[in-house]
Amino acid sequence: MSTHLLAGAAQAPPPGRSEPAVEPLPFVRADPASGLNRLDLVVEGVHCAACIRRIERGLERLGGLASARVNLTTRRLAVAWPGDPGRAGEILAAVEELGYRAVPFDPARLEGGDAAAERELLLCLAVAGFAAGNVMLLAVSVWSGHALGMGEATRTFLHWFQALVALPAVAFAGRPFFRSALAALRRGRTNMDVPIALAVVLAPAASLVETLRGGEHAYFDSAVTLLFFLLIGRYLDRRARGAARAAAARLLALRGQAVTLVAADGTTRPVRPESVPAGATVLVATGERVGVDGTVEDGRSELDTSLVTGETTPRPVGPGSRVFAGTVNLGAPLRLRVDAVGEGTLLAEIVRLVEAAEQRRSRFVVLADRVARLYAPFVHTLAALTLGGWLLAGAGWHGALWAALAVLIITCPCALGLAVPAVQVIAAGRLLRRGVLVKSPTALERFARIDTVVFDKTGTLTTGRMVLEAIEGGTRDDLEAAAELARASRHPLARALAAAAGPGPAARAVEEVPGRGLRRPEPEGEWRLGRRGFAGPAEDDGLPATELWFERPGRPPVRFRFADPLRPDAVEVVAELRARGLELELLSGDRTATVAEVARRLGIARFRAELSPAEKVARLEELARAGRAVMMVGDGLNDAPALAAAAVSLSPADAADIAQTAADAVFQGERLAPAVELLEVARRAERLVRQNIGLSIAYNLCAVPLAVAGLVTPLVAALAMSTSSLLVVGNALRLQWGAR
C-alpha cells in the first residue's frame, strides 16, 4: 500500500502548493479569426504594478506567446498564443510558480454579457453628453432671443440645427430605455422606463412639428439633457452592480479545485470532484483540502475541520474515520474511499442550504424600486388627465399635447434614477477604502435596518489561529527546546509554539507521528512533544487538543496551553454595537465551555454552542419570525447557510470561499472595526436616499402644477430638471464628508 502511495505521490501535483490546479485545457478557446488559443485566468493576490510586471514578464520569458495581459480591475489574466493548445498547463504552472494562485474560467459563463452592456451604456452616455452640450448651446441662444427679439428666421434656423443633433442622438442614446420599456409593455406591464421613453420620443417629435410650423418653443434640449442625466444614473448603477457581481464571480471561480484520483493500477490523475465515482479511492496530500466525503482507508493524520464545524482544534483521524469535503489535511497523506460525491456531500448540502436561504432573501425590494412601482402609473394618469383636461377646456390639440408633454418631461425621474445610484456608488467607494467590499446592490439598505447582530465565534470574533497562552511547569528554556522540535512540523499548534519562541534552530532527525506528536532520539532518551498520552500524562482523554506536552528524560513534563485569541478590537466593537442599541448573540459550532468563555469576555449575554449549520439557520429563522432584522457575521463553511439566511451578512476576507460568496459584504484585515463603519455608512446612505427621494417628490409637487397649468416653457423645464438633479447629487456627495 505504501509503495502505491509513493508512486502516486510522485505524479500528484508538486507538494507545497496547497490546492492543486484545475486542469486548464478544457478552458482554452480557439479564436478562428486570429488563429490564436485564448485562455482566461482568475488570478489571486494581484494588487499593484509590481504584480502586473512580474506576471507579464514571467510569461514573456516562456516565449512563443502572442500576448499576456493582466487586468487589475477584474484580477484576471488573458493569455493568447499560437499553435499547441496544450501549452495551457505550462502557462498555468508558470503563473503559480510566480506565487499567484490562478484558476482558469470561461468568461462567457462568468460574465453573461455584463461588460458589453456597460460599454454600450458608456457609449450612449458619451453621445447624449455631446448632444446635450451642443443642443443646450443653441437652446440658450433661442431663449435669450426670446428676450432680445430674435427674428423668426434665425430662431427656426437654430431649431433646425438642434433637431439635426438631437434626433439622431435620442435615437441612439435612448435605446437602453426603449428596449426596457418595450419589454415591459410586451408583458403587459409598465415600468419607470415607459414614461421616460414616452417623454424622450414625444418631446423631439412634437418639437419637430413645432419647428416645421416656425413655432416659438422646442423641447430638443430637454430630451437630450434628460437622457444624459438618466444615463449617468444608469451607468453608475450598472457599475456598482457590475463590481459587486464581479467580486462574487471571482470568489465562485476560485472555488474550483481538483481531487487526486487513484486508478486501479495505482496511477493518479487530477480530476474534477464531481466526476469522482462513489467507492473510488482518492489521495489527499499534506496541506491539501479534501474534495469529497469519504472514509479513511489508509494513513493517520489530523484534519483542520474549522471550516466545516467551526472547531478550532485539529481532529485526529485514522483508518475508518469519516472525513468531509472542505476540511484540510494537516498531517500525513491520506487515502480515502469516496462515500459521497457531488450532490451527496456535506459541502453540497451546505450549498443547497445557502441557495434556499438566498431565494428567501431575494424577495427584498429596495425603497427606490417600491417608489418606482407607484411612480409610472401616477405619471401616465397625470399626463393623460392633463391632455383630457385641456381638450375639455377647449385648448385645442396643440396646446393640450404641449401641456401633457411638459408634464412628462417635468416628472421624469432624474432624482430617482440618478441620486440613488450616486449614493450607492459613493458609499461603496468609501467602504472599499476602509477594506469593506459590498457585494450585493441591495445590501446597504438592509444593513441600515438591522436591530440584531449574530456572531460566529471561530475566525470571526477570534482570529481563528492558535496562540500560546501559558507554559505550565516549565520556563522559557523549555519553550526554546520544544520549539526546536516544533519548527519541523506544519501542525498549527507546533507552528504557534514556534511563533511564540521566535526564530531559532530547527532540530534534525525529528520524526512526526501523525495525530500524536513529534519525537527526537537523544543520547539520554527521547524528546517528545505532542498530545496528552504521547507525552506527559499517560491517559489520553480523546478530546481535541488545545495543549501540547513536552517531555525530556529526567525532567518533569511541561504543558503548553493554547487559545484562539479574540480579534484585537473585538471587545471595543462589541461594546460599540451594544451602545448603538443592537441585540447581540453568539452562535457557534464549538464546544460549550469555549463559547461560554468568549461570550463572558465580550459581555455577550446570549450564546448557543455545538450548533450544526441547520440549527444556526433555524435560530436565525426563529429571530426573523420574532420580527428581528438580523445581521450575521461569520466565516466558516458551517456559517454559509446562516449567512445566506440572515437579513444581511458580513464575512471576513480570510473566510471560506463559500462563506464569502454567501455574505453580502466582505471585510479585510485583522480588525473587526469595519463592521461598525459599515453600519454607520449604511445608515447615513439610507438617510441620504430617503432625503433624495423626498427632495424629488417635493420638486415634483412644485413643478407639476405649473406643467399641468401649461405654464412650463422649455427654459423652465431645463432649469427645473438641472437644479433638481444637481441638488440630489450634491446631497449624495455629503456622504463623502466626514470620511476621515
Partner 1 sequence: MSGLLYLIPVALFLGLLGLAAFVWALRSGQFEDLDGAAQRVLLDEDEPEDRPKRG
Residues designated as active site: 456
Q: Based on the shown chain and the rule CB under 8 A, indicate whether residue 49 belongs to the binding site for partner 1.
A: yes
Q: Based on the shown chain and the rule CB under 8 A, indicate whether residue 57 belongs to the binding site for partner 1.
A: yes
Q: Based on the shown chain and the rule CB under 8 A, indicate whether residue 127 belongs to the binding site for partner 1.
A: yes
Q: Based on the shown chain and the rule CB under 8 A, indicate whether residue 371 belongs to the binding site for partner 1.
A: no
**Binding residue for partner 1, selected from 9, 122, 367, 395, defined by CB under 8 A:** 122
**622 conformational bin, left if phi > 0, alpha if psi -120 to 50, beta if neither:** alpha
Residues 6+ apart with CB under 8 A from 323: 290, 293, 294, 295, 296, 303, 317, 334, 336
Under rule CB under 8 A, which residues in 88-117 are in contact with partner 1? 115
CB of 160: closest distance to partner 1 in angstroms? 10
CB of 154: closest distance to partner 1 in angstroms? 6
Q: Based on the shown chain and the rule CB under 8 A, indicate whether residue 137 belongs to the binding site for partner 1.
A: yes
Q: Based on the shown chain and the rule CB under 8 A, indicate whether residue 138 belongs to the binding site for partner 1.
A: yes
CB of 142: closest distance to partner 1 in angstroms? 12
Q: Based on the shown chain and the rule CB under 8 A, indicate whether residue 140 belongs to the binding site for partner 1.
A: no
Residue with cell 461598525: 676
The residue among 122 and 676 lying less far from partner 1, judged by its C-beta, is: 122
Sequence-separated contacts (24+) of 700-709 with Cβ below 8 Å: 700/410, 700/411, 703/410, 704/382, 704/407, 704/410, 704/411, 706/410, 707/386, 707/403, 707/406, 707/407, 707/409, 707/410, 707/411, 708/382, 708/385, 708/386, 708/389, 708/403, 708/407, 709/403
CB of 244: closest distance to partner 1 in angstroms? 16
Q: Based on the shown chain and the rule CB under 8 A, indicate whether residue 53 belongs to the binding site for partner 1.
A: yes
Contact criterion met (CB below 8 Å) for 219 and 717: yes
Q: Based on the shown chain and the rule CB under 8 A, indicate whether residue 130 belongs to the binding site for partner 1.
A: yes
Q: All 3 cell numbers of residue 612?
A: 450544526
Integer Cα distance of 17 and 177 in angstroms = 50
Length of the chain: 740
Q: Specify the amino acid at residue 523.
A: P
Q: Based on the shown chain and the rule CB under 8 A, indicate whether residue 148 belongs to the binding site for partner 1.
A: no
**Binding residue for partner 1, selected from 12, 28, 74, 552, defined by CB under 8 A:** 74
Q: Based on the shown chain and the rule CB under 8 A, indicate whether residue 580 belongs to the binding site for partner 1.
A: no
Integer Cα distance of 654 and 675 in angstroms = 15
Q: Based on the shown chain and the rule CB under 8 A, indicate whether residue 72 belongs to the binding site for partner 1.
A: yes
Q: HSE on the CB side for 400, CA within 13 Å? A: 14
CB of 151: closest distance to partner 1 in angstroms? 9
The residue among 228 and 447 lying less far from partner 1, judged by its C-beta, is: 228
Contact criterion met (CB below 8 Å) for 259 and 292: yes
Under rule CB under 8 A, which residues in 582-641 are in contact with partner 1? none
- Applying CB under 8 A, the span of 68-76, 176-184, 254-262, 648-656 interacting with partner 1 comes to 68-76
Burial 224-254 (b: 16+ CB within 10 A, else e): bbbbbbbbbbbbbbbbbbbbbbbbbbbbbbb
Q: HSE on the CB side for 134, CA within 13 Å? A: 17
CB of 68: closest distance to partner 1 in angstroms? 13
- Applying CB under 8 A, the span of 44-52, 292-300, 503-511, 669-677 interacting with partner 1 comes to 44-52
Q: What is the Rg, in whole angstroms, of the alpha carbon atoms belonging to the chain?
A: 32
Q: Based on the shown chain and the rule CB under 8 A, indicate whether residue 161 belongs to the binding site for partner 1.
A: yes
Q: Which helix (H) or strand (E) holds 560?
A: strand 558-563
**Binding residue for partner 1, selected from 126, 183, 263, 385, defined by CB under 8 A:** 126
The residue among 153 and 392 lying less far from partner 1, judged by its C-beta, is: 153
Determine the 3-state secondary structure of 40 from DSSP.
Answer: strand
Q: Based on the shown chain and the rule CB under 8 A, indicate whether residue 172 belongs to the binding site for partner 1.
A: no
Q: Based on the shown chain and the rule CB under 8 A, indicate whether residue 73 belongs to the binding site for partner 1.
A: yes
CB of 390: closest distance to partner 1 in angstroms? 35
Q: All 3 cell numbers of residue 258?
A: 481538483
CB of 123: closest distance to partner 1 in angstroms? 6
The residue among 91 and 158 lying less far from partner 1, judged by its C-beta, is: 158
- Applying CB under 8 A, the span of 52-60, 205-213, 255-263, 351-359 interacting with partner 1 comes to 52-60
**Binding residue for partner 1, selected from 22, 165, 406, 623, defined by CB under 8 A:** 165
The residue among 135 and 673 lying less far from partner 1, judged by its C-beta, is: 135
CB of 140: closest distance to partner 1 in angstroms? 13
Q: DSSP code of 269?
A: E
Integer Cα distance of 347 and 361 in angstroms = 21
Residues 6+ apart with CB under 8 A from 292: 259, 273, 276, 282, 325, 336, 338, 339, 340, 341, 345
N-term to C-term CA, the chain: 62
Q: Based on the shown chain and the rule CB under 8 A, indicate whether residue 167 belongs to the binding site for partner 1.
A: no
Number of residues binding to partner 1, judged by CB under 8 A? 28
Q: Based on the shown chain and the rule CB under 8 A, indicate whether residue 154 belongs to the binding site for partner 1.
A: yes
Residues 6+ apart with CB under 8 A from 225: 132, 135, 136, 718, 721, 722
Q: Which residues bind partner 1 (CB under 8 A)?
A: 48-49, 52-53, 57, 60-61, 70-74, 115, 119, 122-123, 126-127, 130, 133-134, 137-138, 154, 157-158, 161, 165
